[in-house]
Each structure stands twice: as structure tokens, then as C-alpha cells.
Amino acid sequence: MFSELDSVATPTLWVVTLGGIAGLLAGDFVLTRKPHLVSMREAVRWSAFYIALPLAFTGYIWTSFGAGRGLDYLTGYLVEKSLSVDNLFVFMLLLGVFAVPEQLQQRVLLYGIVGALLLRAVFIGLGAAALSRFDWTFLVFGLILLLSAVRILRDSARGRGHEVEVDRLRSVRLVRRVVPVTAGYHGPAMWVRAEGGHAATPFALVVVAVLCADVVFAVDSVPAVYGITGDPYLVFVTNAFALLGLRALYFVLHGALQRLVYLDYGLALVLAFIGVKLALHWGHLTWPSVPAIPTLVSLAVILGVLAVTTVASLGSQTRSLEHREMQDDP
């Protein structure tokens, strides 16, 4: 059953959580202060850490606040982590079209993560306020997710699910109208001295583009996790843990991402399912006879969809490779 809008978090827990997240981000900024190429070993090590940390946090939520809250948190984290992989596609394309040097890529991703955390904190607060006052907000969130699912399917069918045209990005056009932009990168600097004053660097442009992309992702992800739990604290920590590991996960999955050819369809199905779940919850609040979808069922459906999506994607790639090899054989 959908968790109510009361929160498990005390003010002390909020302070400790926010302090821990700030500490992790500060550590990341220290580690990336000197641009360097990220080795696979380094990326795997940090990815393992950022997966182990939220999973260990599941045990804390489970033992401290009960199995129901623990299951809500775990399911919400799984949804957010799945959606964050889709974020990586766009980040990968933005880094490519802006020709970001490899040693600067993790710094750009880190700015994107910080921006995403701040934006989602705002969205989560607004969502909690709306849900506590108006039951129909559940229906609105459900419709948002259903529309997002349709958009993903439409873009994938047109073959434009992950295309980025720099010159058409409004954020980029706006920056170029306001300030001059240098031709090349100057390390991680966003502003440099130029003739007649200061100028922005391409590094600043790509950071702005990533932050604008974060807004779109927040519109999908926040209603999605509110479809699992109504606890603002759990909504926030699932978003935070999913985002904190993105920087390392990007370098681990950079090559593998291209093989997940059916990821869009899986994510669209997950969003549509949660959208229906929210609509049913609104119906259940209005008419108690309307059934609600338990969290355990949600977890099973989401795991099943992601597993089928991954297996089908890898199987498709294997068949394509075998087909090409047969054609190449004399």
C-alpha cells in the first residue's frame, strides 16, 4: 500500500543526511580539482562504493522504521537508479557534441549532479506540499508519467530518443547572446579574461546545457518515486543516492550504454506502470473500492521489466553481431 505523507525523518536525521551528502560532494570536488583521465579501475571502485552505500542504507531504514518503509525505499531507489541510466545517455551525448576533453568530463558530470540535487530538492518540496493538500495531485503526477512514457516511445520510434543539436539548445543560444564564448577549453575554468573583458568558455556552455537537462529529468523522476512512497525524506534520499553514483557509473557504462537498445521501452513501461499506480491510488482515496497496487508488486514488476529489457537488448546485440559475421564470411 502507498505510504502516507508523514515522514520517518526527524530534524536530526535530516541534518545528518544533508551533512553526509554535502561531505560526499565535497570529497568529489576535491578528487576532481586536478583534471585527469578516469581509469576503469577507479570508476569501478567508486561505482561499487556508491552502490554499496544505498544498499546498506536499506538495512538502516528497514531496521529503524519497519519492513514497509524499507521496501518503499528500496523500490524507489531502484526506480531512480534506472531513470538515472537514461540521464547518462544525454550526458554522454552532451559531452560528445561539446567535444569535452576526457580529463574534464568528470568535472562536468559533478556540476550536473549538484544541479540535479538542488532542482529535485525543490521539486520534492513542492510535490510534498501539493500531495498533502490536494488528493488530485496523485492523478496529475500519474498523467505526467503516462505522458512521459508516450514521449519516450514516440522519440524512440522516430529514432530521435537521444539526439542533441547544440545550436538548437535554448540554454546555449541564450549564453552566446549574453556573453562572448572562447573557441577552446581552458581547463575547468568557466570564465577567462579576453580582449575587452571576460568571456565564457565551452566548459560553461556544457555545464549550462547539463543543468537544463536536469530540469527535464526532475519532471519525470520526482513524480515516479512519489508513486512508490509519499515520505519526502525517502523520496529525497532515493534521488540523492541515485545521483551521487552517476559520475563513476558514467565511465563504467560508457561503452555498455550503447548496447541497451531497448532501454527506452523498458523505462517507458516502468513510468506508465507507476502512472497507473498513482491514478489507482487517487481512485482508492476517492472510492475505497478501487484497488491499490502494493509496493511489493511494484518492486516485482519493475525488476521484471528491467531484467527483460536488459536481456532483450544484449540478445539483440549478439544476434546483430552474429548476422554481420555471417555476411562477412566468404
N-terminal to C-terminal alpha carbon distance within the chain: 60
CB 242 within 8 A of CB 88: no
pLDDT at residue number 1 = 41
pLDDT at residue number 53 = 93
pLDDT at residue number 194 = 73
pLDDT at residue number 2 = 45
Q: What is the pLDDT along the chain (330 residues), one digit of tens a residue?
A: 444 456 778 889 999 999 999 999 998 888 877 777 778 788 888 889 999 999 999 999 999 999 989 999 999 999 888 887 777 777 877 887 788 888 888 888 888 888 888 888 888 888 888 887 888 888 888 888 888 888 878 877 665 555 555 556 666 777 777 777 777 788 888 888 876 677 888 888 888 888 877 777 787 788 888 888 889 999 999 999 988 888 888 887 765 666 677 878 888 888 888 889 888 888 887 888 888 888 788 888 888 888 888 888 878 766 655 555 555 555
CA 318 – CA 107 distance, rounded (Å) = 34
Report yes or no on whether pTM surpasses 0.85: no
- Non-local (6+) Cβ contacts of 23 within 8 A are none
Q: Which cell is 243 given?
A: 545521483
pLDDT at residue number 40 = 79
pLDDT at residue number 153 = 83
pLDDT at residue number 49 = 93
CA 18 – CA 214 distance, rounded (Å) = 20
pLDDT at residue number 129 = 84
pLDDT at residue number 257 = 63
Phi, psi of 285 (to 5 degrees): -65, -35
Strand partners, 181: 200
CA 108 – CA 185 distance, rounded (Å) = 12
pLDDT at residue number 148 = 82
